[in-house]
Amino acid sequence: MDNLVDSHAHLDMLDDPGRALAAASAAGVCRIMTVGTDLETSRQAVAFARSRAGVSAAVGIHPHNAAAAGSDSMKQLEEIARSAAVYAIGETGLDYYRDRSPRDVQKEAFSRQIELARRCNLPLIVHSRDAGEDTLAILAAEADGLTVVLHCFSLYRHVDRCAESGYFMSIAGNVTFGNAADLRQASALIPTDLLLTETDAPFLTPVPHRGKENSPVHIPLILAELAAIRGASPGDLADNIHRNFTNVFGSPQVI
């Protein structure tokens, strides 16, 4: 297969991004979304996308960094987002597991980036950890009409609710973990036309490589696990996920 996609990676965090991209290409990964978590990493994401075929950028401020999402930072983020290399806003959202920013500050930063996605007419990449009810409530109230990607999908009890809202659900390498029964069950229920794959590299390295740096080269392992869970042909599933990726993010710019 040569049409695999990684809808969420942090190339700036990899030890050797060039080598990782070459390995991913050899493994059949043709498109990668590299994702910013603050202003500096968003600028780096744009630089990667401008210089590498098949790489697109998402720019945003992670909930851990929400305290930095003031008016000046949001103005700078919008300037970055206007680059032709940018195909999404994010990652943004809520994280009540680490709580590295106050929750009211996280919510404000999330809302500001939802509005930025609307102004820029771009999809929204959402991080939600231990914050499902608030995440879905904010999206329902503020993100109507936007294309939403729930990255590293964790809203296991809300697959139907997310599907009814048309949200794309992206599955990462933790679907291969021994303690991921809830995620595997949820992964079987996601409508095919709303399913995406991601690595969240360098995090969530799939079995059998846990303990090592994750990278887009591991997308085939995630796809194989999903195909087994869903009783699907890996080739057919890859075709559908590639189509979904294009439906969300469009076609890549010509380098």
Indicate the helix (H) or strand (E) that contains 51.
helix 39-51
Residue 237 phi/psi, 5-degree rounding, is -65, -40
DSSP assignment, residue 87? E
**Paired strand residues for 201:** 9
The sheet carrying 4-9 orders its strands as: 4-9, 29-35, 55-59, 86-95, 124-129, 148-150, 168-171, 195-197
In the chain, what are the domains? 4-249 (3.20.20.140)
Give residues with Cβ within 8 angstroms of 20, minimum separation 6.
11, 14, 201, 215, 216, 217
pLDDT higher than threshold 90 for residue 6: yes
Residue 88 pLDDT class (50, 70, 90 cuts):
very high
Give residues with Cβ within 8 angstroms of 185, minimum separation 6.
156
Q: What pLDDT is attached to residue 251?
A: 80
Residue type, 37: T
Question: Three-class SS of residue 71?
Answer: helix
Mind listing the pLDDT tens digit for each residue in 95-138? 999 999 999 999 999 999 999 999 999 999 999 999 999 999 99
pLDDT higher than threshold 50 for residue 254: no
Query: What is the reported pTM?
Result: 0.96
Q: What is the C-alpha to C-alpha distance for residues 131 and 143, in angstroms, rounded to an integer?
A: 17
Look at residues 130, 126, 185 and name the one whose alpha carbon lies nearest to residue 156.
Answer: 185
Q: What pLDDT is attached to residue 255?
A: 37
Q: What is the length of the chain?
A: 255
